[in-house]
Amino acid sequence: MDAERLMEEETLFYNEKLAGGKWRHIMAREMKPGQWTSMRSTPPPVTAPEELKAPEAAGLGVTIEGRHEPLRLDEAVAALPALDIYTRGSRFIDIFNSGRGPGAWVARTREDWVMLSRAEGDLREDARVLVSVKWARAPKGEGVEGLIEIEGAGTRRMVRVPVFNPASPRPGDLEGFVESDGVVSMEAEHFTSQTDRAGTAWQVIPGLGRTGDSVAVFPEDTPSIEPRRAASEAPLMEYRLYLFHTGEFELTFYLMPTQPVRGTQGLRFAFGFDGAAPREVAASAGVEVTSKEWSQNVLNATTKTSTHVKLEAGAHVLKIYMLDPGVVLDKIVLNTGGLRPSYLGPPETRVKTK
């Protein structure tokens, strides 16, 4: 095969010819014994797929954001994840043909403040309908709902649109981030403020991040700081956020999978809420370069560390302190009860005023 031949040629060039063979044995098509095996050296088991027999007649299939499975035939009404006035996002509804015949579909809303990106289509083509809210018209309240009707192929589906639009606080009263759909999600580069110390500072690294940029302390040879001295000596970033619930929540930090530049304690930094003393955390402590965990972190371009915090509803300030240089922070997620499985983590819940 051409692919096999090309890989063989590239590997030979890199090991034997590039820079006179300087990088000999650095590049290999397969892992050495004992290292994490690739899919090429360990092919995954493949079973024959089950034959799907779609009905001859057209059928209205509907799937909504937040669910893996489509709406069932006996399911009269389903609900999208809530939309809120603070993040002003959108939700999606996917419409498809569950049969093979031709047919049309239409979608309509009962409220003039519920907006659809499209209102009709042909079942021969899959369609994604984005659902958003015209906030200037939406009624205020914490239990507001809209309703979408979708009709096609002799079938009707109803989708509820929960809306969180409390009278107080309003978006203009908040700064930074907000609890939305059970999470607070913050891209690390969007800190509210920062404090530099002794010529060292957290700086944004453009383009280095899975869903945005990332941040790290510079210069890279900055001396380490012990947690007991972090509050007064370490450069720090602050993230303002607002919660609607009280409880004990999981706090997860997403970092780029770098190697510690100091010691063997992992990628160390510290955090604290409001006036609390800094708490040390570390990612990838004890993770060997030859381990499967390290390989998976590199493939996913992330490593995570989590802890738990107790917080009251209302406004808070999260502070991030440097302990060791070489830590590259990408994303911060506070799970207040609504975190759903995903590859990149929840989208950012930054407050928007328009």
Amino acid 232: pLDDT? 96
CB atoms under 10 Å from CB of 40, counted, come to 10
The angle formed by the CA atoms of residues 15, 17 and 22, to the nearest 5 degrees, is: 60
Torsion sign, CA atoms 306, 214, 188, 182: negative
Split the chain (354 residues) into runs of 10 and give each run's mean pLDDT: 82 88 77 54 68 87 93 90 96 96 96 97 96 97 95 95 96 97 97 96 97 96 95 98 98 96 89 97 88 90 97 98 97 97 96 90
**Single-letter amino acid code for the residue at 237:** M
Output the CA torsion 312→316→317→320 (10° steps). Answer: 30
The angle formed by the CA atoms of residues 177, 182 and 183, to the nearest 5 degrees, is: 40
Amino acid 33: pLDDT? 56
Domain 60-165 listed as CATH 2.40.128.20: no
Tokens linked to 8: 């063989």
Q: Find out whether 245 and 328 touch, Cβ atoms under 8 Å.
A: no
Contacts of 29-38 with C-beta under 8 Å, sequence gap 24+, read 34/290, 35/290, 35/295, 36/290, 36/291, 36/292, 36/294, 36/295, 36/296
Among candidates 98, 116, 117, 114, which has minimal Cα distance to 155? 98
Tokens linked to 244: 């609607």
- How many secondary structure helices (H) and strands (E) does the chain include? 3, 22
The domain locations on the chain are 60-165, 171-335
CB-based contacts of 9, cutoff 8 Å, min separation 6: none
Phi, psi of 296 (to 5 degrees): -65, -40
Q: What is the pTM of this model?
A: 0.85
Q: Find out whether 237 and 320 touch, Cβ atoms under 8 Å.
A: yes
Among candidates 344, 351, 352, 354, which has minimal Cα distance to 212? 344
Q: Which fold has domain 171-335?
A: Jelly Rolls (2.60.120)
